[in-house]
Amino acid sequence: MRKPIVAGNWKMNKTVAEAQALVADIKRDLAECSGVDVVVCPPFTALAAVSEAITGSQLDLGAQNMHWEGSGAYTGEIAPPMLRELFCHYVILGHSERREYAGETDAIVNKKLKAALAANLRPIVCVGEQLADRDAGRTEAVVEQQLRGSLANCSAREWTDVVVAYEPVWAIGTGRTATPDQAQEVHAFIRSVIRDLADDSIAQTVRIQYGGSMKPANAAELISQPDIDGGLIGGAALDAASFVAIVQAAL
Ligand code: 13P
């Protein structure tokens, strides 16, 4: 049995004060959520404050990106040990917005993946096709290429810390969600690629989140699909009541 994982990707939203207010509400409403791993991923500037706020709770902390080097002359970047110091346990890697606006390639995502695993951070590796890919019948080809590039050279031990997020780009922030059947089809395909990259028992344990306009109204139906193990939530994670309702749907 895979434990569901619901993560809130706050993207470039929330000042420190706003982040503290949001996480206080989430924490209050999720006092009991041991059946689901719940992760909040604020922007870098709010990590320390949110880390302090969730101490002793069941919430976990994630970052939205990191560099692959441990330190050095990389202006504007954040290194894995800096995240660990703030008790970050997860890091989102290869989000489509980073691929699109920061030019991240599968090779870069793979370097970050290896660095995250070496630093004891659990990577949430994002893959997903553009609308044009889907319309051209290229969804599986695109997702497979992203998986093979981003997740190359993982040991069996490393696979146990990996989370994959399937985020069809056309569903992100558009209000247009993949139907449960569409999402399940790609999740099952992702699991088959992991089986090929690793083995069957690893493929059965790796958690695969869905992301893209997930909200309280559609979360239960998506997460109840056999290969959907939770959600990576954008817009709805900025509102405590919506985020909590999605976690409850996963329960
Ligand atoms: P939305 O939930 O706003 O569509 O964003 C999804 C996402 O990109 C999470 O990483």
- 176 pLDDT band, cuts 50/70/90, is confident
- Average pLDDT on 190-199 reads 98
- Average pLDDT on 145-149 reads 98
Q: Residue 2 has which token pair? A: 């895979």
**Angle separating helix axes 106-118 and 139-150, nearest 10 degrees:** 40
- What does the alpha-carbon distance between residue 53 and residue 47 come to, in Å, rounded to a whole number? 10
Cα 57 to middle of ligand 1, angstroms: 24
- 121 pLDDT band, cuts 50/70/90, is very high
Per-residue model confidence (pLDDT) at position 18: 98
- What does the alpha-carbon distance between residue 60 and residue 240 come to, in Å, rounded to a whole number? 15
Which neighbouring-strand residues pair with 127?
166
Of 67, 95, 104, 129, which one is the catalytic site residue? Answer: 95
Q: Which atom of ligand 1 sits closest to the CA of residue 126?
A: 10
Q: Which residue has the tokens 């330190």?
A: 71
Of 67, 129, 167, 187, which one is the catalytic site residue? Answer: 167
158 catalytically annotated: no
Q: Model's pTM, two decimal places?
A: 0.98
Per-residue model confidence (pLDDT) at position 147: 98
Whether residue 115 has pLDDT greater than 90: yes
Helix (H) or strand (E) holding 124: strand 122-127
Decide if domain 7-121+144-155+247-251 falls under CATH 3.20.20.70: yes
Q: Give yes or no for residue 234 CB within 6 A of ligand 1.
A: yes
pLDDT-above-90 percentage for the chain: 95
Q: Beta-carbon neighbour count of residue 98 at 10 Å?
A: 18
Q: For the chain, where are the alpha helices, taking DSSP H only?
A: 16-29, 44-54, 80-85, 96-101, 106-118, 131-135, 139-150, 156-159, 180-197, 200-205, 216-223, 240-250
Whether residue 92 has pLDDT greater than 80: yes
Among the ranges given (10-19, 32-41, 45-54, 114-123), the one the predictor scored with the smallest mean pLDDT: 32-41
Q: Which atom of ligand 1 sits closest to the CA of residue 236?
A: 2
- What does the alpha-carbon distance between residue 58 and residue 43 come to, in Å, rounded to a whole number? 20
167 catalytically annotated: yes
The overall average pLDDT reported for the chain is 97
Per-residue model confidence (pLDDT) at position 27: 96
Per-residue model confidence (pLDDT) at position 105: 98
Q: Is-contact 117 91, C-beta < 8 A?
A: no
SS3 of residue 65 by DSSP = coil
Whether residue 33 has pLDDT greater than 90: no
Per-residue model confidence (pLDDT) at position 202: 97
